[in-house]
Structure 1
Amino acid sequence: MALKPPLMDLPIKTADGGFYGGFTKHVTISAKLLVAALVLWAMIFPKRSSTFLSGINETILASFGFWYIYATAFFLILCLALAIWPASGRLKLGLTDEKPEFSNFSWFSMMFGAGIGIGMLTFATAEPMYHFAKNPATIQMLTEPSSLGNVRAAYIWSFTHWGFAAWAAYAIVGLSLGYCSYRRGLPLTIRSGLTPLFGKWMSGLLGHVVDVVAVVATVLGVSQTLGFGVEQLISGLSRIGVGDWLYTTAADGTRSSSTAGIIAALLVIMGASTLSALSGVGKGIKWLSNINMGLSFFVLAFFIIFGSTLFGLQALLVGMWDYLVSIPGNLFNVWSKNGTPVGDALAGWQGDWTIFYWAWWIAFAPFVGLFLARISRGRTVREYVLGAVIVPSIMCFVWFALVGGTAIDLELSGKAAGAIAGAGQESQLFAMLGVMLSPDLAWAMSVVVVVLLLTYLVTSADSAVLIINTINAAGDEGPKARVHILFWGAALALVVGGLIVAGGLGAIKTAMVIGALPFSLVMVLMGIALIKGIVHDGLREKHGIATTTESESTSD
């Protein structure tokens, strides 16, 4: 069969004027109705919705857990292969003479802030602490919980969940979109990444479905991140003395975030993020990203100077080695319930942690992937993979080793006396500061952490709103139709607030795992489409067939 030129024109019908002028009505209205239905259902029938979602979640974990594991392994292998393979590694996400729009620092800052910034403030302390107490090694009685001998196992899993696989999920979406949009001139929207497989079919109903799935997955993935961030923000505000109204106390003495506290936190976050989204990527988002990156380095420097630095550096170096050695096994390993206490416990642990994380990264991928493509135009595939997979992973490792290592060392030495381990995951960072510092200094550092957390929350939320708007507008990157930006800002706040009220963070987690499943199929197809596109373009070039909009115009 003779090679044909690649598809370089993907017409997507948008409204000519009116309220939805410039937007794809099928995508925008469908996504709004689905998200609105979820919010109303969760708020009107909180118990029923929570029970129903939990049932679906259990079915997915039992039947599709293996799919999340193997899909994530595919993303990582493909990213590394494309970077290493000379023919693909030197390809530009753009035309031959294009230069990157953003400096390396701004590029990395925006990428990191949108991708994992919030989660690190919660989990850099909480995850090593949790796996220090329980992980597959302790379940199999290979190590003793909360002991020095369990530190290495704790870091294997912390690095597994926040390392290369997480960023590869984001990177594969960005690679696919950057390749198809900036080399072939297709719209910067999710459906474009599937054109090497489905061609002009992506202009119609099939493309609309793909973009709707991407928008809903984005809303749920970002809601999970914002949910964690809101809980930690409330904890931080309480620590610095904002007021007791942030929490409610149940009859059994347990505390939880109050409805008033959740509403207040969401109003601040979504108000600031919506204003930032209205200003676009090059202004508000870039400015906030540079601020939170600077504050991140300040907090990290604090732990290098005042934390358990030697312990942390040992955890970093040994943990990275253990992690690299463990990748072939952990990347493909699937534990299934087999009726034994150990087998069932391992399957339950993997569902609560590894599969939850893989679903989280997948649900987050349409947002972060499209955002990475948007800010990475002009970079080579090899440069992109290095900057979007390897470097941010190492940054995560440093944070987890120095911050989490300090918490573990304080517990091992007895200085913490259980104050860190006994705190909720949203409070452990603040509890650690209370152990390390005098009350006044702990208060001052808590203020810094609260400000950093707020900038990360705003950066993630405003980037998400902008990306959702871009998908709905068939790839139009301009911050037009402000009322739609306001809608999605309010929608994110309502999804987070509604699901927290319905069933706490567990309800958001459940909805997110469910929403990630259909988009995981889209991502696998995007990876296959990317392989086909690169291989066929190589053949086209050998036969003198145009492969980019640049070469097409030159040949004319």
Structure 2
Amino acid sequence: MLMDRSVFKISVGIAALFVLIGVLIPEQLGNAMGVAQAFVLETFGWFYQLVATFFLLFAAFMIFSKYGKIKLGKKDDKPEYNRPTWFAMLFSAGMGIGLLFYGVSEPISHFSAPPLGEGSTEQSAILGMRYTWLHWGLHAWAIYAIVALALAYQKFKNNAPGLMSATLRPVLGEKVKGPIGKTVDVVAVFATLFGVAASLGLGSQQINAGLEYLVGIPNNFTVQFIIMAVITVLFIVSATTGISKGIKYLSNINMSLAVILFFALLILGPTLFLLNMFTTTLGSYVQNVALMGLRLSPFDATEAAWTQGWTVFYWAWWISWTPFVGMFIARVSKGRTIREFIIAVLLVPSLVCALWFTVFGGTGIHLEFVQGLNVSEQSLETALFYVYEQLPFGAFLSVLTVALITTFFVTSADSATFVLGMQTTGGKLNPPNRVKIIWGIILVAATLVLMASGGLAGLQTAIIVSALPLTFIVLIMCYGLVKELNKEWKLEHDKEKTVKKAS
């Protein structure tokens, strides 16, 4: 089996050491991670805000630039998947579990404890929804789109391996094959590992909350451990069937279930209120997106802490997911033009996220603001099921949600093992099954260690710390991408001039 054994061995070794430390001294690990999180949030919050805004502007530049017509692949390459399947695969690997976990809980949390001003008011409802859109909208998908674009270009245009280090070749040249390139790939492995671990941790907690609501199963770490053990078997089986079978079929199932759940809540919930909320928030978001994306509140420690704990955390989370989501999107996007690719990855998922949070979060806000229920007092993982209790067919919606979280769980872990396998086998498009199985086991073990040592806070810390070095890599990647695209555009432009002169 041909693979970059050094990257594989170093990554597995460090990951195994991290898991061992978490098992032996979980409390000390949790304390150390807490100190690291506070340092990064307070020291580099401004940096995360600036780079997230930069990535959005960079993506917009790609849409309108002269590079938009360049195809990801050869001139005669056709897309491997049709658009509905492409969107489903992109979305299932992107934010599936998070949409269900935070669908009600984030907007209702911002409604009751907004980033500024008084909570539980009409103003805080719009403000809370607007910030939720910020966290899951254009900024997030711009980050994904840029990394996916660089990976897809190098892979399908230059036949480079599907590695983060390969995207730096225009800047570093042959040095990407040496220690610098291997370091980049190891950083990408751990950002992926911790970024996906957070989603799996959220997923297991919410599956447990749903089972507690439906059948009275206790909501605790032991049950979540069993849930993860069972689902580990499922996603390893799925991962070993290959992308065109397991991930493709599960992605389509996910999309179908999510559509059913979305329209069920839209119809059963306060429909007119939700439509009005969407329209109002859209205007507010468009008007304030730049201000929100750069807000830090240097004169107010409370408001600054809110921004660090929510907005800055999200930017770090999405950056940590870029090796995972970026590689996966790149893998399934051969044959698309840059303009089509960026527009699709940037706008379509952002709109879907906006609609999703408006329907789910708006229903929760309506129940509390209009009907006087205490939705905001529920925990993050139980808020969604509490909302279901107040609606017709609540039990059916809960069953559907647990099923959807499970399939999202399997798909995310399935996709992650595939990408981790690529990253540690020299960029192979079809990593060996044993490599994917090893990474599947490590992924679940790391998730359990983070949950045991710090819960949700532990998951957040791992994301924030691992994303920092990766952010600098992505910035260099942007420079290399423009350099490479400009080179190709000049070649094509010169060819066109030669043809015109000859004719």
Structure 1-normalised TM-score? 0.87
What is the SS of the residue equivalent to 1:240? helix
Summarize the alignment of residues 428-507 of structure 1 with structure 2, pairs less than 5 Å apart. 428-437=383-392, 441-480=393-432, 482-507=433-458
Kept in 2: contact 1:274–1:486 (CA 8 A): yes
Residues 165 and 181 in structure 2, CA contact (< 8 A), matched pair in contact too: yes
Q: Aligned residue for 1:179?
A: 153
Normalized per residue, the structure richer in helix is 2
Shift of 1:331: 2.1
Deviation, structure 1 residue 115 = 0.4
DSSP-derived class of the 1:378 partner: coil
**CA separation in 2, counterparts of 1:374 and 1:335?**
40
Q: Is the 8 A contact 2:53 2:294 kept in 1?
A: yes
- 1:153 is aligned, of 103, 127, 136, to 127
Matches within 5 A, 1:178-327: 178-241=152-215, 243-244=217-218, 247=219, 257-258=220-221, 260-327=222-289
CA distance in 2, matches of 1:43, 1:94: 46
Gaps of 5+ in 2: 497-503
Are 1:43 and 1:499, in contact at CA under 8 Å, matched by a contact in 2?
no
Q: Does 1:383 align with 2:362?
A: no
Query: Once the 2 structures are TM-superposed, how far is the Cα of residue 543 of structure 1 from its aligned partner?
Result: 4.3
AA in 1 matched with 2:275? L
2:19 and 2:216 map into 1 onto residues whose CA distance is 29
- State the alpha-carbon separation in 1 of the partners of residues 266 and 130 from structure 2: 21
Deviation per residue, 1:84-110 (Å, 9 max, x gap): 11x211111111111110111110001
Which amino acid in 2 is paired with 1:145?
G
Output the amino acid matched with 1:484. V
Q: Following TM superposition, by how much is the alpha carbon of 1:136 offset from its aligned partner in structure 2, in angstroms?
A: 2.3
Partners of 2:302 and 2:340 in 1: CA distance: 41
Q: What is the CA deviation profile of residues 385-442 of structure 1, one whole-angstrom value per residue up to 9, with x for unaligned ones?
A: 1211100000000011111111110111225x21x222101011100000123xxx32
1:407 equivalent to 2:386? Answer no
Corresponding letter in the other structure for 1:427: T
Q: Which runs of 5+ in 1 are unaligned?
A: 1-20, 139-143, 248-256, 546-556
- Counterpart in 1 of 2:500? none
In structure 2, the partner of 1:252 is: none
Contact preservation (8 Å) 1:100, 1:379: yes
Looking at structure 2, the residues matched to 331 and 283 of structure 1 have their Cα atoms a distance apart, in angstroms, of 39
1:427 is the counterpart of 2:382: yes
Give the distance between the partners of 1:156 and 1:445, measured in 2 at CA. Answer: 26
Is 1:88 aligned to 2:82, yes or no? no
- Letter in structure 2 aligned against 1:166: A
- Counterpart CA distance in 2 for 1:279 and 1:327 is 42
Mapped partners of 2:335, 2:454: distance in 1: 44
% identity of equivalent residues: 33
Aligned equivalents of 2:24, 2:479: Cα separation in 1: 42
Partner of 1:15: none
Q: By how many angstroms is 1:169 displaced?
A: 1.1
Q: 1:118 corresponds to which residue?
A: 97
RMSD: 1.3
Could you give the per-residue CA deviations for residues 218-275 of structure 1, whole angstroms, max 9, x where no partner exists? 000000111111111110111110523xx3xxxxxxxxx23x2121111122211111
Q: What does the per-residue CA deviation read over 1:265-323, in whole Å, with 9 as the maximum and x for residues that have no partner? A: 11122211111111111110000000010000000110121111111111111111211
AA paired with 2:436?
A: I
Query: Are 1:43 and 2:17 matched, yes or no?
Result: no
Partner of 2:499: none
Residue deviations 1:58-97, cap 9 Å, x none? 1111211111111111111111110111x21111111111
What does 1:320-339 correspond to in 2, within 5 Å? 320-336=282-298, 338=299
State whether residues 15 and 442 of structure 2, in contact with CA within 8 Å, keep that contact through their aligned partners in structure 1: yes
1:137 matched to which residue of 2? 116
> Is contact 2:208-2:217 (8 Å) kept?
no
| Alignment partner of 1:394 out of 351, 364, 367 | 351
- Distance, in Å, in 2 between the alignment partners of 1:182 and 1:264 is 41
- Structure 1 match to 2:13: 33
CA displacement, residues 449-476 of structure 1 (integer Å, 9 cap, x when unaligned): 0001101111111000000101111111
Q: 2:94 is aligned with what amino acid?
A: G
**Amino acid of the residue matched to residue 265 of structure 1?**
I
Q: Measure the CA separation in 1 of the matches of 2:129 and 2:266.
A: 18
Q: Distance in 1 between matches of 2:19 and 2:69?
A: 45
What residue identity is the alignment partner of 2:296?
V
Cα-to-partner distance string for 1:337-391 (whole Å, 9 max, x where unaligned): x4xxxx1011101110000000000011110000000000111111111211100
Match of 2:204, SS state, is helix
Q: State which drifts further: 119-128 or 149-158.
A: 149-158
1:477 is aligned with what amino acid? L
* Correspondent of 1:68 among 32, 36, 48: 48
